[in-house]
Amino acid sequence: MQKQAIFQSKLLPYALVAPQLAIVLIFFYWPALQAVIQSFLLQDAFGLSTSFVWFDNYLELIKERAYFEAILRTFFFSFAIAVSSLSFALLLAVMADKPLRGSMLYRTLLIWPYAVAPPVVGVLWIFMLHPSLGVLSRYVRALGIDWNPLLDGDQAAALIILAAAWKQISYNFLFFLAGLQSIPRSVLEAAAIDGARPMRRFWTVTFPLLSPTIFFLLVVNIVYAFFDTFGIIDTMTRGGPGKSTETLVYKVYSDGLLGGNLGSSAAQSVILMIMVIVLTGIQFRYVERKVTY
């Protein structure tokens, strides 16, 4: 945990941690504490008086059907985004891991979408699949689908999942490629000498050795789907039509800003914080496992 060789100084270390500590206290702990306090308060419609209401905001939330649906929707989105993006990225990474001519070029051409901001992703995809002017919409209609994601909730959800998974391909690809490259060649050669065909080698040797990477990426992708999809949703559908693309984070935003219901929004924030803490905890357990692995 600490060096053997250290400096002796009374004030200097405090001066060195002071800037970060100040920012952390002002912009992290104070607002987090405020969120917890606010979640126990109820404000009247004009913001003139507040009263302490214990867990009423939480109980209201649990009873609220829209909140329950937002939870289910967020988990469904996370699952769909993670599975589709991970499987496609794994396929690409396995291909790029082969000794091919131009493999560096392939890598470059596949990783740059990491840098595209979520709101821009939203704009790009809604433009391509816009019901009246999208260049791809006519092909979707040709398949016999009555395509209008601005009116049809399921189609809007599909569009969000597609766009969010698209953005995440490059990230997953990069980590899969790193994972694949860390698998010792000798293990694969041994399997080849034993007569295992490439497909069999993949499923019995490569895939199990890749499982820590897969698990890590699963958690990262879920966190991504929880938080980073906000920009995609906001530029594409604004949570609509109806509430069919409203995730938990989007609901915190719209309930607090548009609805002005700060108590409920704060309670939702606290629940989200607990979810993040659980997810981060899982991630750290995994890191421990990797060390002993």
Partner 1 sequence: MVEEEGFRRYVAHIILWIGIAIVAFPVYIAIVASTQDNALIANGQMSLLPGGHFFETYYQTIFVGTSGSTREPVGNMMLNSLVTALLIAVGKIAISIISAYAIVYFRFPFRMPIFWLIFITLMLPVEVRIYPTYKIVADLHMLDSYAGLSLPLIASATATLLFRQFFMTVPDELLEASRIDGAGPLRFFWDTLLPLSRTNMAALFVILFILGWNQYLWPLLITTRDDMQTIQIGIRKMITTTDALTEWPIVMATAVLAMLPPVFVVVAMQKLFVRGLVETEK
Which residue's CB is nearer to partner 1, number 154 or number 189? 189
CB of 162 to partner 1, least distance (A): 10
CB of 177 to partner 1, least distance (A): 9
Which residue's CB is nearer to partner 1, number 53 or number 220? 220
Integer Cα distance of 112 and 114 in angstroms: 5
CB of 24 to partner 1, least distance (A): 5
How far is residue 218 CA from its own chain's centroid? Answer: 9
Which residue's CB is nearer to partner 1, number 3 or number 63? 3
Integer Cα distance of 195 and 21 in angstroms: 59
CB of 157 to partner 1, least distance (A): 19
Integer Cα distance of 91 and 228 in angstroms: 24
Which residue's CB is nearer to partner 1, number 157 or number 270? 270
Please, which residues have CB within 8 angstroms of residue 245's CB and are 6 or more apart in sequence? 73, 153, 156, 157, 160, 233, 236, 237, 239
CB of 212 to partner 1, least distance (A): 13
| Amino acid type, 116 | V
Which residue's CB is nearer to partner 1, number 65 or number 138? 138
Q: Which long-range contacts (CB under 8 A, 24 or more apart) does 64-67 make?
A: 66/243, 66/246, 66/251, 67/251, 67/268
Q: Which residues of 175-190 are buried (b: 16+ CB within 10 A; e: fewer)?
A: bbbebbeeeeeeebee
CB of 263 to partner 1, least distance (A): 11
Which residue's CB is nearer to partner 1, number 66 or number 178? 178
Residue 41: enclosing H or E segment and its boundaries?
A: strand 41-43
- Nearest 5°: the CA angle 28, 34, 37 is 140
- Nearest 5°: the CA angle 13, 16, 20 is 125
